[in-house]
Structure 1
Amino acid sequence: MFHQTGRCVLKKWRRWMVWAAALAVLPLRAAQPELLYAVNFDDPDVRAAVDKCPFAKVEKDFEGTSVLTVTVPPDKMSDGNPVAVVIPIDIEKIGAAGGNLYGEGDLKFTGVTRPMYSWNGVKFMLVFKSEGKEQYPDFNPGWQTNCGTKDWYRASSSTVIPKDVKKAYLNLGLQQSSGTVSYRNIRFYRGDASPESTLAKQPVPQAKYTVDLPVHRGVMSPNRFDEKDFADLAKWNANLIRWQLNRPLDRPYTLDEYKAITAKKIDELGKVLDAARKHGIKVVIDLHPFEGGKLILSTPEGRQYLVDVWKEIATRYKGHPAIFGYDILNEPHSRNLRPGDPTWPELAERTIKAIRAIDPVTPIIVEPDQMAHYELLEYLPVFEEPNIIYSIHFYAPGQLTHQLDPKVKPILGYPDETRGWNREYLRKNLEKAREFQQKTGARIYVGEFSCIRWAPGADRYVKDLIDLFEEYGWDWSYHAFREWQGWSAEHSDDPAVMDPVPTTGRKEVLLKAFEKNGK
């Protein structure tokens, strides 16, 4: 998907700031992270890498800092590999293998066109091989910061560097986009210790349950409340809805703005729960701020809000018969945490304890790191508290499920034996989650899965996944119901048709699966 093409770097040291307020929330483990590597754009080897990219240059800014700029004309835009400066990093020499690596840098871009895939555009990415397989961790993640125009901002993320990695290649440039992007102050630090696998413990801890619910099958919620939606889902025989406490996607939002939006949605929950009860549907209450939980995880104030908002929800709605569970944070990602911040499992534990002090029974749903990644359940602990449900999201392969622009051709389909995309591919990708279930006795909930409606064979993809969920006894909710037409099971396979139709292949798959639900 990505490759090594071109080369570049950065310079300027800034002291690491530790918020005093963080001490009031959770203690930091390290006041100063260990610097492993800083890109020096004045270094001859780095300059040689820059020279290999015909669209790159290094200039001094008004402060005397060396800034790398990559400008890709529209006729030179690549549909495949990045047009980028590629800087080799000796992972073995800097001692980064076998641990977490935290990277950060200052980025600015102008007129960057929207890429074919949402994970492309502006790249601040490492490329390395582990066990023969290439990996591409990006330190500028997030669809709102990969195209368009944006003044200087700090991009950061972290990744695990496997023990067998000797070399990596830093890609700085554009992929599937034209425009201009600039970089300065690129640095890599030793991250916090890699999490321990729960499955490596002897004996393996066992999850505890005092609530015995049958398997539930349903959908993700619309973006607004309408009781008719619940009545229609009852006719479908769905018995679960994952109700999003989300925000609009029109622009970035501040924590205070998200708090205000969520406060209104919490007030509305009473109507949601009452309508669900009336129509025989259970509700997962889902805190859904987008961007890997950035608004929640990236500051001490956000991390305190995570606890406070769930204390409020539990206090107001505990005991309501329509509640299936509390999904404490949608798609958390440790890229939003800096070295020394509390880890996601620590934050989840703290939130669980706060809820349990108010509501000792209602199931609490916890998602693993890296956007509820299906292979990372084992790096969550088996929490001591009872009735913890472990949730994953599944959109693999992303090249199939997330073909968000139907104008981009060809549109890939499923199954595709030339790419190895079939039911066994899906089963293999779910092996880690299945192993976690079998060894810990944990209840598994697939909170999201889907395939873009205009992908040929999307109905077969959805059916194959549901068949596996049923085989494993997992709860699930299809993404999504009356939210965005691209995911809608009520819209046809033709992207030009924007109105719902009486039936589709995907809808028929869901209706057949919902027949298993009791009422």
Structure 2
Amino acid sequence: MLGTLAVAASLVLLGDSGPVFSRSFDEAKPLEGASASKDGARVEKGAGRSGTSALVVDRPASAGAGSTSVRWSLPVEKLRGTRVRVEAYVKADDVAKPPKSYNGVKVMLHLKGGAGDEWPQAPVDTGSFGWTRVGFTRAVPDDASSVDLTLGLEATTGRVAFDDVTLTILPPRRPAVASASASKPDPRHGPGRLRGVMIGTKVDADDLRDLARKYGANHVRWQLLWGGFPNGPADKATPAEYDRWLDGELDRLARLTPVCRQEGITVLIDVHTPPGGREQGTSVMGMFRKAEHQEHFLKVWEKIAKRFRDDPVVWGYDLVNEPVLGMLPDGLRNWPELALEAARRVRAIDQKKAIIVEPAPWGGPDGLDDFEPLPGIDGVVYSVHMYLPHKFTHQGVHGNPTGLSYPGVIEGKRWDKEDLRRALEPARRFERDYNVPIYIGEFSAIRWAPGSSARDYLRDVIDIMEEYGWDWAYHAYREWPGWSFEHTSNPDDPKPSPTLTDRGALLKSYFARNPRPAAP
């Protein structure tokens, strides 16, 4: 049974933006209306950041993994339609690794609305660490019926302290100020609209010719991926080992760009594996743990830009695939800061090609609610990946159940085309707010979804992207068979289908809208 305490929130309302909720736990009655001690949650004097009070949640290992949290119900009528920033200082002692990545230390909102329940939360490490500020930004739906703030532990043991917790309404976003550059590069300088695919790491000349001639795609997102996803050998590689791998991959790309040019295929270079790789078990990127990985990452982009700045086949540079930060050590750049520095270094070398930036975490549409355009950089395209609802698109993968149909009820709520549109709304909103282009670098549905579900899902996602005029790349072509549109829906059949699948026919029908290249 969850030990959850409903607590009346103390509020400070300052117009349309500013602090809405704050708690230092030095108030006269910091947990008025609740008795925290019986469930391991209490306010302790001297446990705070400066010897003041803090909220402490304590679950000893002898109690077994479980959940204890304190919950504040916030005034939803004040928060509907706003963007809010949640921040807290957290200190942990011996917090055990939980069974799921979304369990553990909770600094979390629970949003209820017409589209269902959402649980956005701050990334917080396990183990032991000193006082660290964590936080996240989230848009509250216009139709939200309730907003709760939760602090505590979920499905784990250990001791965690919380101090100086705030929830702030952010001011409305303003369009980015136009750059003073006299020659703003056009991020859509390819062959018109881009409709294509993410490609596997073993794709060669014949595969590219098939993609163009058999299916009609005019674009590939070229992943520089080392050793598989999400965790390959890069997390343990030396800088020299990483550079040897990268140089080999860039040599391969340079060998195949003439084929792409002949076939009318525009290339986006995607650093799928950055220096430092991803931590085992968390997928946090090493470059958000160590400064040397960040500096190496910047040099990687200098190398790529120098090598491909004069290649007309290369449309742009996707700085990193699906960034995941976790808690950031002092002195390291966060993702917007690191992306800005990488973009500046690319622009110092190549002033023409598009620079593609995905938000953290995982490049999801919601990440753009916690992102601002890179200041002073021309030709930036903002990219998200579309796999929502995840339980449907990834059924049978990573322990997810199978048998989920689209359209249909998935995780207790109905999903159809309008729900997909709502899921993509953060990207549409970002596009409108800042007048910037959007690119969908990945979207897919597992091939063994029941009946025509995968095709129907892809059709609705593509229809929305086409309506909005977004460029896109399907995930994936001749990579892992689970995402292959050339394989049947039978998970036990490892070979491509001798005939066109329903998903292949669907993609081919959209690729037919692409302009064809002139004869070489």
Q: Do residues 68 (structure 1) and 47 (structure 2) align? A: no
Deviations 1:9-33 (A, max 9, x none): xxxxxxxxxxxxxxxxxxxxxxxxx
SS in 1 for 2:366: coil
Q: Residues 191 and 372 of structure 1: is their aligned pair in 2 closer, same or farther, counting only changes over 3 Å?
A: farther
SS in 1 for 2:365: coil
User: Of residues 197, 204, 223 in structure 2, which corresponds to 1:219?
Assistant: 197
1:184 aligned partner? 158
SS in 2 for 1:335: coil
Q: Do residues 446 (structure 1) and 440 (structure 2) align? A: yes
The one-letter code sitting in structure 1 at the alignment partner of 2:423 is N
User: Of residues 75, 87, 107 in structure 2, which corresponds to 1:100?
Assistant: 87
> 1:127, 1:134 within 8 Å by CA — same for their partners in 2?
no
Q: Residues 196 and 126 of structure 1: is their aligned pair in 2 closer, same or farther, counting only changes over 3 Å?
A: closer
Compute the TM-score of the two structures, normalised by the length of structure 1: 0.71
The correspondence of residues 204-283 of structure 1 with structure 2, limited to 5 A, is 204-206=176-178, 208-210=184-186, 212-213=189-190, 214-235=192-213, 236-248=215-227, 249=229, 253=233, 255=235, 257=237, 259=239, 260-261=241-242, 263-278=244-259, 279-283=263-267
User: Of residues 354, 364, 370 in structure 2, which corresponds to 1:373?
Assistant: 364
1:433 aligned partner? 427
> 1:220, 1:448 within 8 Å by CA — same for their partners in 2?
yes
Deviations 1:415-434 (A, max 9, x none): 11683311111112222322
Q: Residues 262 and 490 of structure 1: is their aligned pair in 2 closer, same or farther, counting only changes over 3 Å?
A: farther
- Quote how far apart the aligned CAs of 1:158 are: 4.1
- Quote how far apart the aligned CAs of 1:125 are: 3.8
> 2:395, 2:401 within 8 Å by CA — same for their partners in 1?
no
> 1:283, 1:323 within 8 Å by CA — same for their partners in 2?
yes
- Quote how far apart the aligned CAs of 1:488 are: 1.4
> 1:158, 1:334 within 8 Å by CA — same for their partners in 2?
no
Deviations 1:151-172 (A, max 9, x none): x677996434789956415342
- Quote how far apart the aligned CAs of 1:136 are: 2.7
1:13 aligned partner? none
Distance 1:257 1:192 in 2: 40
Q: Residues 296 and 430 of structure 1: is their aligned pair in 2 closer, same or farther, counting only changes over 3 Å?
A: same
- Quote how far apart the aligned CAs of 1:184 are: 2.9
> 1:219, 1:240 within 8 Å by CA — same for their partners in 2?
yes
Q: Residues 261 and 233 of structure 1: is their aligned pair in 2 closer, same or farther, counting only changes over 3 Å?
A: farther
**Structure 1 spans left out of the alignment, 5+ residues:** 9-33, 38-43, 52-64, 73-82, 113-117, 146-151, 174-180
Compute the TM-score of the two structures, normalised by the length of structure 2: 0.71
Q: Do residues 159 (structure 1) and 136 (structure 2) align? A: yes
The correspondence of residues 308-319 of structure 1 with structure 2, limited to 5 A, is 308-319=299-310
- Number of residue equivalences: 434
- Quote how far apart the aligned CAs of 1:478 are: 0.7
Q: Residues 485 and 139 of structure 1: is their aligned pair in 2 closer, same or farther, counting only changes over 3 Å?
A: farther
What RMSD in Å do the two structures reach over aligned CA positions? Answer: 4.0
The one-letter code sitting in structure 2 at the alignment partner of 1:498 is P
> 1:240, 1:477 within 8 Å by CA — same for their partners in 2?
yes
Q: Do residues 482 (structure 1) and 478 (structure 2) align? A: yes
1:22 aligned partner? none
Q: Residues 161 and 391 of structure 1: is their aligned pair in 2 closer, same or farther, counting only changes over 3 Å?
A: closer
Distance 1:293 1:109 in 2: 14
The one-letter code sitting in structure 2 at the alignment partner of 1:210 is D
1:393 aligned partner? 385
> 1:273, 1:322 within 8 Å by CA — same for their partners in 2?
no
Percent of aligned pairs sharing the same letter? 29
> 1:392, 1:445 within 8 Å by CA — same for their partners in 2?
yes
- Quote how far apart the aligned CAs of 1:460 are: 0.8
Q: Residues 353 and 109 of structure 1: is their aligned pair in 2 closer, same or farther, counting only changes over 3 Å?
A: closer
User: Of residues 465, 471, 486 in structure 2, which corresponds to 1:469?
Assistant: 465
SS in 1 for 2:446: coil
> 1:67, 1:184 within 8 Å by CA — same for their partners in 2?
yes
Q: Residues 499 and 437 of structure 1: is their aligned pair in 2 closer, same or farther, counting only changes over 3 Å?
A: same
The one-letter code sitting in structure 1 at the alignment partner of 2:289 is S
SS in 2 for 1:393: strand
Deviations 1:4-58 (A, max 9, x none): 72579xxxxxxxxxxxxxxxxxxxxxxxxx9968xxxxxx96652269xxxxxxx
User: Of residues 81, 84, 87 in structure 1, which corresponds to 2:66?
Assistant: 84
Distance 1:223 1:36 in 2: 51
Distance 1:304 1:193 in 2: 34
Distance 2:421 2:58 in 1: 48
Q: Do residues 516 (structure 1) and 513 (structure 2) align? A: yes
- Quote how far apart the aligned CAs of 1:483 are: 1.8
The correspondence of residues 350-365 of structure 1 with structure 2, limited to 5 A, is 350-365=341-356
- Quote how far apart the aligned CAs of 1:250 are: 8.1
Deviations 1:351-375 (A, max 9, x none): 1111111111111111122222213
Q: Do residues 346 (structure 1) and 333 (structure 2) align? A: no
Q: Residues 127 and 316 of structure 1: is their aligned pair in 2 closer, same or farther, counting only changes over 3 Å?
A: closer
Q: Residues 252 and 326 of structure 1: is their aligned pair in 2 closer, same or farther, counting only changes over 3 Å?
A: closer
Deviates more, 1:357-366 or 1:502-511: 502-511
1:23 aligned partner? none
The one-letter code sitting in structure 2 at the alignment partner of 1:205 is V
Q: Residues 429 and 250 of structure 1: is their aligned pair in 2 closer, same or farther, counting only changes over 3 Å?
A: closer
Distance 1:99 1:370 in 2: 16
> 1:220, 1:478 within 8 Å by CA — same for their partners in 2?
yes
Distance 2:162 2:210 in 1: 52
SS in 1 for 2:323: coil
The one-letter code sitting in structure 1 at the alignment partner of 2:362 is M
Deviations 1:206-249 (A, max 9, x none): 58543533111111121334333212212222121112222324
1:77 aligned partner? none
Q: Residues 226 and 262 of structure 1: is their aligned pair in 2 closer, same or farther, counting only changes over 3 Å?
A: farther
Distance 2:124 2:69 in 1: 19
Q: Residues 395 and 184 of structure 1: is their aligned pair in 2 closer, same or farther, counting only changes over 3 Å?
A: same
